[in-house]
Chains A and B, each alone.
Chain A
Amino acid sequence: MRRYGPAFWAQLSFTLLVCALLVVPVVLSMAAGLTVNYFVGIRSGLTLRWVAEVWALYADTIRLSLGIAVACLACTLVLGVPAAYVLARAKGPVARAIEELLVMPVAVPGLATALALIVTYGGAGDFRRSWLFILVGHVLFTLPFMVRAVLAVMTSIDLKTLEEGAASLGASFVQRFFQVVVPNCASGILAGSLMVFTLSVGEFNLTWLLHTPLTKTLPVGLADSYASMRIEIGSAYTLVFFLMIIPSLILLQLLGRRGRR
């Protein structure tokens, strides 16, 4: 192994510092959520009391967020995978314009999208008050991520040859789509699904304006607890949130690493 020079150590120290900036607050907040009294410090002892209190106060927000995330995933799969297929197959300015339009909800701030939904559908009382109103916002915001993840895989494989092969063997379009296209894009669909789930569970910018007192999601509850509860409860709640998204974040990293190889 070659010896590392001073430049290496300088860059390594800098990178470690950046890592610390990102990781230390996460560790601190996890510790705070399990500490009897954060002001006194960890020597006041460890407890699950705050997690239990979070569950008592906010269990319904956790359930609602999980439900919306699963529904959002289903919607983006049904809408996004066929759309990505069309964008991969169709060349030309119209397809590019549609692609450009579809990713707009990521470029436009959530605040603007939410306001637009409210001024248009705010009068439809039952719809406005139901969790479906939040679902619509989440689907808009996450759909581009599904489309792009699937599209990336579709453009990297030779879809046309695969499909022509299947068609020459007499496969109908539906058979080709579900038995050739979808299995060949499985990694993209999985990556998109994990991203959609994670983003939906954590979505705040849209949800804060779209929610009602009866449709509070986890991040809405988080904002509420940061503003009005003691730091241990906010931390314990954040801990619950981390536990919900960390599995999919780890899977995403593993997928990404396999993709880079």
Chain B
Amino acid sequence: MHRRDPFTLALLIAPAAVVFGAFFLLPLAELFVIGGSGPQGWAAYASVVTNPRHLQSLVSTVTLSAGVTAATLAISTVSGLFLVRNRFPGRALLLAMLTFPLAFPGVVVGFMVIMLAGRQGLIGEATHALTGGRVVFAYSMAGLFLGYIYFSIPRVILTVMAAAEKLDPQLEEAARSLGARPWQVVAHVVLPALKPAFLSAGAICFATAMGAFGTAFTLATRINVLPMVIYTEFTLQANIAMAAALSFVLGLVTWAALALARSFAGSTVAAAG
């Protein structure tokens, strides 16, 4: 095309590149250096596995995030496939309700969990009326689990539905005509075809749950997840080097999870358009 094109293109992306470099890449590099400048030196980076308290919070964060990812994928697949395959009155409204909390911030999601499972929450009132006891689990790992599922369902369901709409119905038709039962069609045709969507949606779900802070902050500062540990190191202990090292490691984990899923799902996703 035009000879001056590369120059124009470089000029157009320059503002974004400058802002991004000055306020993201440079600070991340600084964060990395600061992380190694504490009393422990570069060993701070290993502390997430050498310090028992940090290791424990890493393990519980990863377990929580993996559990949330599995549960959200299962829920979203059942409901997403149902909505893709059936047309009935009220379907659009159901879909709107399922995707509505898409942009809720973590603090608000935390408050929603309190509304459901908090001291004055719906579940507590219901169990109080039924049994006399009061079930309250908002301010614990279980509350966080519920909150992260709440937060993740809209995102995951949209990805699963978008992939399911692109499936070729002839494949299922063929499987059925060969005598496959409905569950066999789902297990051997539909679910394998949705694998790229599961990988990318699951990775986003996992990374978000690993790094989320607002929900845990609203529910209880005592919940032992990595973002809360980082926050405590930074504010209460004023241990900036440790907070920097831990948050750098956390960022690396979430970014790697996403990059890995993209490289697995990448070719298929790109082919799907």
A-B contact count (CB 8 A): 226
Which residue of chain B is the closest to A198 with respect to CB atoms?
B103
How far does the Cβ of A84 sit from chain B's closest Cβ, in whole Å? 9
Which residue of chain B is the closest to A203 with respect to CB atoms?
B105
Is the contact region of chain A dominated by helix, strand, or loop, or is it mixed? Answer: helix
Contact B115 A109 (CB under 8 A): no
On whether A24 and B122 interact (CB within 8 A), knowing A111-B230, A117-B23, A253-B96, the answer reads yes
Q: Is A228 an interface residue, CB under 8 A from the partner?
A: no
How far does the Cβ of A13 sit from chain B's closest Cβ, in whole Å? 10
Q: Is B264 an interface residue, CB under 8 A from the partner?
A: no
**Chain A 4-38 against B: per-residue CB contact (8 Å), 1 yes, 0 no?**
10011001101110110111111011001000001
CA distance A174 to B101 in the complex (A): 39
Q: Which bracket fits the contact residues of B?
A: 35 or more
Which residues in chain B, 1-45, are within 8 Å of chain A measured between CB atoms? 1-2, 5, 8-10, 12-13, 15-17, 19-20, 23-28, 30-31, 34
Instruction: Give every chain A residue within 8 A of B78 (Cβ-Cβ).
Output: 11, 14-15
Q: Is A58 an interface residue, CB under 8 A from the partner?
A: no
Instruction: Give every chain B residue within 8 A of A107 (Cβ-Cβ).
Output: 207, 251, 254-255, 258-259
Contact A116 B28 (CB under 8 A): yes
**Chain A 70-86 against B: per-residue CB contact (8 Å), 1 yes, 0 no?**
00000100111011011
How far does the Cβ of A42 sit from chain B's closest Cβ, in whole Å? 13
Contact A12 B248 (CB under 8 A): no
Instruction: A89-B5, A143-B20 given; name 10 further pairs at CB < 8 Å.
Output: A18-B153, A29-B111, A100-B259, A115-B243, A116-B31, A119-B30, A205-B212, A208-B214, A231-B114, A231-B120
Closest 10 CB pairs of A and B: A109-B211, A116-B27, A202-B105, A112-B247, A25-B112, A82-B12, A116-B31, A25-B115, A83-B16, A108-B251
Please give the residue numbers on chain B whose beta carbons come within 8 Å of chain A beta carbons, in ascending order: 1-2, 5, 8-10, 12-13, 15-17, 19-20, 23-28, 30-31, 34, 75, 78-79, 82-83, 86, 88, 92, 94, 96-108, 110-116, 120, 122, 150, 153-154, 165, 182, 207, 210-214, 217-218, 227, 230-231, 234, 240, 243-244, 247-248, 250-251, 254-255, 258-259
Please give the residue numbers on chain A whose beta carbons come within 8 Å of chain B beta carbons, in ascending order: 4, 7-8, 11-12, 14-16, 18-19, 21-26, 28-29, 32, 38-39, 75, 78-80, 82-83, 85-87, 89-90, 98, 100-102, 104-105, 107-113, 115-117, 119-121, 136, 139-140, 143, 147, 164, 167, 173, 195, 198-199, 202-205, 208-209, 219, 222-223, 226-227, 231, 234, 238, 241, 245, 249, 252-253, 257, 260
